[in-house]
């Protein structure tokens, strides 16, 4: 099955032809946003790019970038190019730092998204005989529903397990005979760990593949997941601002994530200068949507760092491959699939009475899972006589962090002055995680 | 008369307790007794010393977080049933003990819910309190 194509014409299109297709679709997109979205009209007018007379892909570089802040400032629907009557779905980011970023989908967008996922799954050898356990969270997060529609379109049997309740996940996996698991890589490892504790022998289960994404992960972690779950682990990438998962995905060769270039134009830029970099150079990934209707995006800066390769893959696909995204250009942390900004943690800590304004976010790796801990200092104001009271104090901060960020973060009390005071830019994050 | 006890927050790290005793030694403060309680990453050390004010200042200057609490100090004869006698008195009057530890010279330190009442019932039952 691995040699099969879901849409051979597009997936193997010679690059020259592919670029022509991109130009043709880009022109339509530019006219669409010019006529329907004030934000882009002003952007295009300001940069002197005439969408009605757009001649070359090289001219895309003249248009300024779009950022997450642009999306926030146009909250909630101001970047939509279609009236709400044509929007059939809304997704959004968690929005714990100010306004969330809101994205909409028309019927065609939903169909496109499903098609991309189906294409991705098919390129990893998944087909209608597969049983897909979708353990991405269902809801505003694009992971759950995104995978779901694509897997159904493919004709596979979908189990909308959603995240959490690991013992039930394992029971489903065993009793229903899931052949594919979709979740974050860290959750895949957690499932493996709990499975081992419960005496599961994964080599005896029909499970053969993991479609894992929503957080950066190393090749080392891939090996670990593959060994523990006895599967092939595939990296899938996406962000709701572009469409959700399926913007790029590895084929079974696992040699980079194929960007769906017939629908998304990808650039790699130098994050400092904004200049476009050639294939093979590491830089920030920038996407322009080519066919999306509800909320087209022009030169969206992902803040993710990667390297692009445009030579034809061993699988025969001509679409450019991006290396596993590693690192960010901003301070956003991605912990177990949840986006965390240090400023969010700070905001919570500063709201706690009797807490000194010094803290350190410590990231580490334990059993191949990312861990996050916040160190705060004990002081006479918060020092209680009893261990129980101190533990209660820690727990009360942990609860506040959880309700603000949606992630369990351990709080650890330290002696005064143990957290380094900085003169100038404070170092708030200590990253002890293993990197490739 | 209640006795002053110093509580010190200590991270669970090699040498922290030794640092406390070094400071006391340098200040020529006598350590009469202590107890420790530990959580995962830290513990608390409770001290009864010859000069509470001086000890607290020295520890604070060295960067330790401290807390002062009133506790009861009782002399217990070193023979069977003596501790039980004291505890029975407190139990009878429904006084709960938060924690208890032994310090030098067969004395015990008690932290209780109602300190003045505890002192009263202990004294009226012939238990000798130390200052």
Tens of pLDDT, residues A123-169: 999 999 999 999 999 999 999 999 999 999 999 999 999 988 999 99
Average the pLDDT over A304-325 and give the result. 95
Domain span(s) for CATH 3.30.2130.10 in chain B: 3-70
- Residue contact A380–B65, C-beta within 8 A: yes
Q: Is residue A3 part of a domain?
A: no
Enter the tokens of residue A148.
């779901």
Q: CATH number of the domain that A418 lies in?
A: 3.30.300.30
**A327 or B32: which leads in pLDDT:** B32
Whether A39 and A83 map to the same domain: the answer is yes
* Reported confidence tier of residue A2, pLDDT bands at 50, 70, 90: very low
Whether A265 and A392 map to the same domain: the answer is no
Whether A311 and A362 map to the same domain: the answer is no
Whether A298 and A263 map to the same domain: the answer is yes
Using the structure block, give the residue that is written with the tokens 């760092």: A305
Mean pLDDT of all residues in chain A? 91
Superfamily grouping for domain B3-70: VC0802-like (3.30.2130.10)
Q: What pLDDT does A94 receive?
A: 66
Q: What pLDDT does A242 receive?
A: 97
Segment holding A400, helix H or strand E:
helix A387-405
Q: Is residue A356 part of a domain?
A: yes
> What distance lies between CA B6 and its chain's CA centroid?
8
User: Quick check: A178 pLDDT over 90?
Assistant: yes
User: Quick check: A435 pLDDT over 70?
Assistant: no
Interface probe with A: pick from B6, B7, B9, most Cβ of A within 10 Å = B9
User: Quick check: A60 pLDDT over 90?
Assistant: yes
Q: Which chain B residue is nearest to residue A390, measuring alpha carbons?
A: B39
Task: Please give the tally of structural domains in chain A.
Answer: 2
Cβ of A396 under 8 Å from any chain B Cβ?
no
Whether A138 and A61 map to the same domain: the answer is yes
User: Quick check: A74 pLDDT over 90?
Assistant: yes
Q: What pLDDT does A327 receive?
A: 78
Closest C-alpha among A163, A168, A158, A160 to residue A187: A163
Segment holding A15, helix H or strand E:
helix A15-36
Whether A339 and A315 map to the same domain: the answer is no
Last residue of a domain, one of A282, A307, A330: A330
Domain that holds residue A19: 8-330
Q: Is residue A15 part of a domain?
A: yes
- Residue contact A383–B66, C-beta within 8 A: yes
Whether A75 and A90 map to the same domain: the answer is yes
Whether A57 and A141 map to the same domain: the answer is yes
Question: Residues in chain B whose beta carbon is closer than 8 A to a beta carbon of chain A?
Answer: 7, 9-11, 16, 37-39, 41-44, 63-67, 69, 98, 111
Mean pLDDT of all residues in chain B? 92
Q: What pLDDT does A197 receive?
A: 87
User: Quick check: A383 pLDDT over 90?
Assistant: no
A184-203 confidence digits (pLDDT tens): 988 898 899 889 889 999 99
- Residue contact B65–A378, C-beta within 8 A: yes
Using the structure block, give the residue that is written with the tokens 């897909």: A132
Last residue of a domain, one of A330, A354, A382: A330
B38: which chain A residues are within 8 Å (Cβ-Cβ)? 387
**B51 or A190: which leads in pLDDT:** B51
- Residue contact B42–A383, C-beta within 8 A: no
User: Quick check: A352 pLDDT over 90?
Assistant: no
Closest C-alpha among B23, A376, B19 to residue B10: B19
Last residue of a domain, one of A330, A350, A382: A330
* Reported confidence tier of residue A206, pLDDT bands at 50, 70, 90: very high
Whether A149 and A38 map to the same domain: the answer is yes
User: Quick check: A57 pLDDT over 90?
Assistant: yes
Whether A83 and A211 map to the same domain: the answer is yes
**A417 or A72: which leads in pLDDT:** A72
Cβ of A384 under 8 Å from any chain B Cβ?
yes
Distance CA A95, CA A174 (A): 36
Q: Which chain B residue is nearest to residue A412, measuring alpha carbons?
A: B41
Q: Is residue A324 part of a domain?
A: yes
Q: Is residue A114 part of a domain?
A: yes
Q: Is residue A127 part of a domain?
A: yes
Whether A39 and A94 map to the same domain: the answer is yes
Q: What pLDDT does A97 receive?
A: 58
Whether A314 and A360 map to the same domain: the answer is no
Quote the ipTM score: 0.75
User: Quick check: A420 pLDDT over 80?
Assistant: no
Chain A nearest C-alpha distance from B7 (Å): 7
Enter the tokens of residue A160.
């909308």
Domain span(s) for CATH 3.30.70.260 in chain B: 71-124
Q: What pLDDT does B113 receive?
A: 87
Its CATH architecture, for the domain B71-124, is 2-Layer Sandwich (3.30)
- Residue contact A385–B7, C-beta within 8 A: yes
């Amino acid at each position: 099955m691995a040699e099969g194509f879901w849409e051979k014409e597009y997936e193997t299109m010679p690059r020259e032809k592919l670029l022509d297709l991109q130009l043709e679709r880009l022109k339509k997109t530019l006219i669409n946003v010019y006529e329907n979205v004030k934000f882009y009209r002003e952007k295009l007018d300001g940069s002197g790019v005439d969408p009605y007379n757009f001649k070359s892909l090289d001219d895309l570089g003249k248009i300024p970038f779009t950022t997450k802040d642009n999306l926030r400032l146009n909250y909630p629907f101001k970047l939509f190019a279609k009236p709400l009557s044509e929007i059939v779905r809304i997704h959004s980011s968690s929005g714990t730092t100010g306004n969330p970023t809101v994205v909409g989908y028309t019927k065609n967008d939903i169909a496109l998204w499903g098609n991309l996922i189906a294409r991705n799954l098919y390129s990893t050898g998944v087909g209608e005989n597969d049983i897909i356990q979708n353990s991405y969270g269902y809801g505003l997060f694009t992971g759950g529903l995104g995978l779901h529609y694509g897997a159904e379109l493919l004709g596979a049997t979908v189990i909308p397990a959603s995240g959490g309740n690991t013992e039930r996940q394992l029971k489903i996996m065993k009793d229903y005979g899931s052949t594919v698991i979709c979740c974050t890589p860290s959750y895949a490892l957690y499932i493996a760990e709990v499975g081992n504790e419960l005496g599961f022998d994964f080599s005896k289960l029909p499970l053969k593949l993991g479609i894992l994404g929503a957080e950066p992960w190393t090749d080392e972690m891939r090996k670990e997941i593959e060994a523990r779950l006895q599967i092939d682990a595939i990296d899938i990438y996406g962000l709701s601002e572009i469409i959700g998962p399926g913007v790029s995905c590895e084929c079974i060769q696992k040699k980079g994530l194929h960007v769906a270039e017939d629908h998304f134009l990808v650039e790699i830029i130098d994050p400092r200068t904004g200049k476009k970099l050639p294939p093979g150079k590491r830089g920030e990934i920038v996407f322009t949507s080519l066919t999306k209707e509800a909320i087209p995006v022009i030169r969206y800066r992902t803040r993710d760092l990667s390297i692009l390769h445009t030579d034809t893959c061993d699988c025969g696909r001509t679409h450019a491959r991006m290396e596993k995204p590693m690192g960010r250009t901003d301070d956003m942390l991605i912990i177990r699939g949840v986006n965390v900004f240090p400023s969010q943690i700070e905001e919570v800590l500063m709201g706690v009475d009797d807490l000194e304004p010094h803290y350190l976010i410590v990231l580490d790796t334990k059993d191949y899972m990312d861990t996050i801990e916040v160190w705060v200092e004990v002081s006479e104001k918060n020092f209680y006589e009893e261990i129980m009271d101190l533990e209660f104090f820690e727990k009360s901060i942990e609860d506040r962090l959880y309700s603000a960020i949606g992630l369990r973060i351990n709080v650890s009390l330290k002696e005064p002055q143990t957290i380094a005071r900085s003169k100038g830019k404070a170092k708030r994050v200590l990253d002890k995680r293993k990197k490739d | 008369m209640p006795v002053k006890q110093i509580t010190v927050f200590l991270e669970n790290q090699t040498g922290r307790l030794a640092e406390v005793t070094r400071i006391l030694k340098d200040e020529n403060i006598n350590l009469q007794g202590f107890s420790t309680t530990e959580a995962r990453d830290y513990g608390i050390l409770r001290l009864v010393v010859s000069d509470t004010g001086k000890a607290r200042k020295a520890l604070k200057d060295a960067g330790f977080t401290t807390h002062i609490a009133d506790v009861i100090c009782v002399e217990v004869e070193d023979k069977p049933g003596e501790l039980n006698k004291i505890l029975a008195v407190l139990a009878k009057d429904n006084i709960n003990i938060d924690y208890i530890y032994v310090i030098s010279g067969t004395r015990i330190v008690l932290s209780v819910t109602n300190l003045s009442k505890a002192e009263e019932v202990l004294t009226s039952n012939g238990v000798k309190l130390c200052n």
